[in-house]
Structure 1
Amino acid sequence: MPSGRDSERITAWKPRVPGIAEVFHAHFTRHAYPMHVHDTWTLLIVDEGAVRYDLERHEHGTPLGTVSLLPPHVPHNGQAATPEGFRKRVLYLDAAGDGPLGPSFIGAAADSPDLVDPLLRRRIGQLHGALAQPGDELEAEARLAFVGERLRERLRPALAESPERHKPVPDRRVAASLRELLDARVTEGVDLKEASGLVHAHPAHLVRSFGAAYGIAPHQYLMSRRVDRARGLLLGGQAPVEVAEACGFYDQAHLSRCFKRVVGVPPGRYARGGRRDVAVGRG
């Protein structure tokens, strides 16, 4: 078992998802952050251990299950609250432009940065899962839209408590428009920001309406259309690496992951099985 500095590990990357400046995963045992600031929102969940930090001269903490939202330009520090250290996942969200939260939420977040909200935490975990898979950017955008929606609800308690807020509002026009757009761009795809602008609907409303109308998320619909195209090309004799590029997948690994999820077998095995069936049929 590694100890001390040897056990401190980080992974960081900038995803191709508007609104997210950086993804940061870390396991720290001894590192302590000095007072510092970010020009982004810091959305933090802790998977093991706990973190304690000072914000606005008040001490806060992140026991397991807590979501912490630290506003931009507000000084804070941080360190492990237990001898075993902590393992955390952080999203740095743009504070302007594509980000889900504007400056009007800074005061509320500074007053109450730690949120005990199982739904929000689950949505953040799902977002991290999508961000870890290259090619799943449309899914990540949709999940970010729902994370942003939930954060705004928590920072506006009156809105969150309103029973009207939780009633589904299906919008068939919005759903049909998005479906037409996805059908027209199966290979090249479309990001959620552009789709929202073209359909004239908020991203969360767009995704929710599509799911209510068709029983499938937009990213699942698009990937299933791509898998359908890939099946035909594979049975036509094209190599998986060529099929991945022709059908709009990020790479061959992305094709394999999506194909197996839908069809039940990897692309190569599917293609070989198809050729055997043809050979048998010819007698």
Structure 2
Amino acid sequence: MEAFFRGYAYDPHRHDTYAFGLTLSGVQSFDYRGARRDSLGGHAIVLHPDEVHNGRSGIESGFRYRMLYVEPRLIRQAMGEGGRALPFMSTAVSQEPRLVAAIARALRDLDQPLDPLAVDDLLERLAQALLALDPSAARARPSRLENRALERARDYLDAHTAETVDSSRLEAMTGLDRFTLARQFRAAFGTSPYNYLVMRRLDRARRMLAEDTPLADLAFACGFADQSHFTRQFRRAYGVTPGRWRALQQQIRG
């Protein structure tokens, strides 16, 4: 995505993905891990999955930025044998040339479809740049994750986004107790099974918002208890209400 804001941008929220950003102009300010962060034009931003952050302009004239969201599993795959734990960059804002170049390259042509080989190249560059900034990830002992079981759980959640999924159902299909499953799921995919399910519901909801589906109908179709439940979850995930998100998308489409 690319966006421009003056003043307030986003309430505190979190993603279940990595967020790779590049500030194009102005000062992009946000709170992250207990401190204010300021990103100027040309600075890179990396937000780790499940880390709470907000957003606002650091100067009156506003800021423009681009952002790319990448599933943690893709970063793990691109790391290969060089890393086990997901790389973590606690500072969030960086001027490190390798990272800035990798993110700028990934965000270069937002309007153009990416060739599959280009996707692989971008992921590898991002993963290696992260590893260079977090050597501990490469040194971590191999984690004994039940990868096939975790993939089954994730595939099930993908296929049943609108349903209420009980932990016992996931236990039966994976052979893991619910606490081991939650711990290993977070290690593999950067978030808990519940948060993953909610985010998949919200993915579907965003597509339906773009089609101007009434919010009450949308909430029911995506598995939320009601419209207010949907609105709370949407704002918690993206920092804006569904109505404001729809208005921003309409502005972008012109």
Q: TM-score, normalised by structure 1?
A: 0.42
Name which structure has the greater RCO, CA cutoff 8 Å, separation 6+: 2
* Structure index of larger Rg: 1
